[in-house]
A and B are shown apart, each in its own frame.
Chain A
Amino acid sequence: MLTATMDVVATIPSEEPPSDVARAAAGDRQAFERVYRANMQRVFSICVRMSGDRARAEELTQDVFVRAWEKLPLFRGESAFSTWLHRLAVNVVLNDRKTQGRERSRAAAGDDDEDTEESYGASAPPSHADRMDLEAAIALLPPGARRVFVLHDVEGYRHEEIAEMLGVTSGGSKAQLHRARLLLREALNR
């Protein structure tokens, strides 16, 4: 049993307090709370920026950590814990989009994958003379462009990784990114 214990601890990357991730994987909720406190802001930030909805992002953040708790015993340390958690957060947000997409009437205008510049313009009317800040402008991007922009320019994923996550081509990811950047420029310069 001691050998097994050492195996678990040894796989935890040095960036995360080893004892907390290992303890959480073994069922220690207090350790898991410390893991949560250490990573909560980053996970919440991903959820906010990808969903464009702070209230929904709070629910998604909770979903991410519940999923992390369930899956932690399977985390074998092939990647850094923060990378593993980050990818889990992205998957939770993307799955939420798919679930919500199924639940919504597909007849409704503004489907995620069919978002248009018109929808951006309609949803982002500048209400005052002040320039919109970047955070607000990202939130108002069409969903498809927003996800690619956040994953690429904010989170640093490569187009190949984004294409795999979103089920699009690498070229499609590049096109969405270019479109997002131009829309942001337009919004920020209003």
Chain B
Amino acid sequence: MIDQLFTCDQFDAALSDYLESTLDPAARAALESHAARCDRCRALLADVSATTTAAAALPELEPSRDLWPGIVDRIAAPVVTLPVAGRRAADRSFVRPWYLAPAPLSAAAALLIAATVSVTLLATRTSPSGPSTVASTGASTPDTQSVDSLPAIPAPAPRVKNVSGSKPNAVPVQQIYASEIAELDSIVRDRRSQLDTGTVAVIEKNLRIIDQAIAQSRAALARDPNSGFLHNQLNNALNQKIALLRTVALLPART
């Protein structure tokens, strides 16, 4: 009956809906009836059905190399670990990140950022050629490695959430960021002549990239000030800049 209305073209047009079970029962029966009588359409249905079945059962693939080292290089925490901070990092495994804490804690943490500047200054000035012991970067450096043997260097600047002007604590935090970056910039300028020129070139290149990211985030936030994603991007970029400047400030002088 109905299947007599189905031509091969109509079969083709209805095939996808049939495979996805979105055809109504009458059309479904008509398509199956047509396929039973038409070699061409029966073969098409069999082939496409087999392909979709095989696609859904494709196995997972394996990369040709271990990708983890490349990942951990990119997510590595700031270079210098503070003894107390190191232990705290190990202890906070089950704890909500502090920067997700309520605003009062964020404000307190912002003050902590400012404190790192003066201690960084102290650390660099007490050793004119830079600190003698600096933790290495990379995957092989566990967060808590050698924490007891490291000098009393300030903890990395904590990550701060919501630094834009839309939050109650935003302006002070933003100012603290600016202040710390300015202080660290000053230290880095003073230390530049002590560092290898190749290292300086890499540092400057990375700072330019981070500055671009900061500028882009701020421009985007000007257009969309309530975007949580953009706030997070800006925070990440600012924290990256502080972490890089601190690292440079504490690098050993060239030999």
Closest residue of chain A to B44 (Cβ to Cβ) is: A185
A134 contacts B58, CB within 8 Å?
yes
Closest residue of chain A to B142 (Cβ to Cβ) is: A30
A79 within 8 Å of B (CB atoms): no
Q: Which residues of A contact B64 (CB under 8 A)?
A: 54, 58
- Interface positions, chain B 45-73, Cβ under 8 Å from A, are 47-48, 51-52, 54-56, 58, 60-65, 67-68, 70-72
Q: Which residues of A contact B74 (CB under 8 A)?
A: 62, 66
B232 contacts A65, CB within 8 Å?
no
A4 contacts B16, CB within 8 Å?
no
Query: Which of B93-101, B163-171, B173-181, B246-254 forms part of the interface with chain A?
Result: B93-101
Given contacts A45-B61, A62-B67, A174-B16, whether A154 and B95 have CB atoms under 8 Å apart is no
Q: State how many angstroms separate the Cβ of B50 from the closest Cβ of chain A.
A: 9
Query: Which of A33-41, A81-89, A104-112 forms part of the interface with chain B?
Result: A33-41
Closest residue of chain B to A36 (Cβ to Cβ) is: B68
A28 contacts B93, CB within 8 Å?
yes
Q: State how many angstroms separate the Cβ of A65 from the closest Cβ of chain B.
A: 5
- Interface positions, chain B 86-126, Cβ under 8 Å from A, are 89, 92-97, 99-101
Q: Which residues of A contact B60 (CB under 8 A)?
A: 41-42, 44-45
A184 within 8 Å of B (CB atoms): yes
B194 within 8 Å of A (CB atoms): no
- A-B Cβ contacts below 8 A, count: 120
B75 contacts A61, CB within 8 Å?
no
Q: CA A23 – CA B61 in complex, angstroms? A: 27
B47 contacts A41, CB within 8 Å?
no
Given contacts A29-B72, A66-B75, whether A134 and B96 have CB atoms under 8 Å apart is no
Q: State how many angstroms separate the Cβ of B100 from the closest Cβ of chain A.
A: 6
Q: Which residues of A contact B97 (CB under 8 A)?
A: 25-27, 73
B47 contacts A149, CB within 8 Å?
no
Q: Which residues of B contact A27 (CB under 8 A)?
A: 77, 89, 92, 97
Q: Which residues of B contact A30 (CB under 8 A)?
A: 142
B129 within 8 Å of A (CB atoms): no
Chain A interface extent, by class: 35 or more
- Interface positions, chain A 67-93, Cβ under 8 Å from B, are 69-70, 73-74
Chain B interface extent, by class: 35 or more
Q: Which residues of A contact B67 (CB under 8 A)?
A: 40, 44, 58, 61-62, 65
Contact with B along A35-63 (1 / 0, CB 8 A): 01100111011001100001001100110
Q: Which residues of B contact A5 (CB under 8 A)?
A: 94-96
Q: Which residues of B contact A42 (CB under 8 A)?
A: 60
Given contacts A29-B143, A188-B47, A188-B51, whether A65 and B94 have CB atoms under 8 Å apart is no
B236 within 8 Å of A (CB atoms): yes
Contact partner of A44 (CB less than 8 A), chosen from B52, B62, B92, is B62
Given contacts A4-B95, A27-B92, A149-B55, whether A40 and B47 have CB atoms under 8 Å apart is no
Q: State how many angstroms separate the Cβ of B202 from the closest Cβ of chain A.
A: 19
Q: CA A69 – CA B74 in complex, angstroms? A: 10
Q: State how many angstroms separate the Cβ of A44 from the closest Cβ of chain B.
A: 5
Q: State how many angstroms separate the Cβ of B55 from the closest Cβ of chain A.
A: 4
Given contacts A62-B70, A66-B75, A178-B16, whether A154 and B63 have CB atoms under 8 Å apart is no
Q: Which residues of B contact A49 (CB under 8 A)?
A: 58
Q: CA A42 – CA B70 in complex, angstroms? A: 18
Contact with B along A155-171 (1 / 0, CB 8 A): 01000000000000000
Contacts beyond the supplied A33-B68, A40-B63: 11 A-B pairs with Cβ under 8 Å: A26-B96, A29-B72, A29-B76, A37-B68, A40-B67, A44-B63, A45-B58, A66-B75, A156-B56, A174-B16, A181-B51
A–B complex contacts, Cβ < 8 Å, 27 sampled: A19-B94, A22-B94, A25-B97, A26-B93, A26-B96, A27-B89, A27-B97, A31-B93, A32-B75, A33-B68, A36-B71, A40-B67, A44-B60, A45-B60, A45-B61, A62-B67, A65-B71, A69-B75, A70-B236, A73-B99, A153-B51, A154-B55, A154-B58, A156-B56, A174-B16, A181-B16, A181-B52
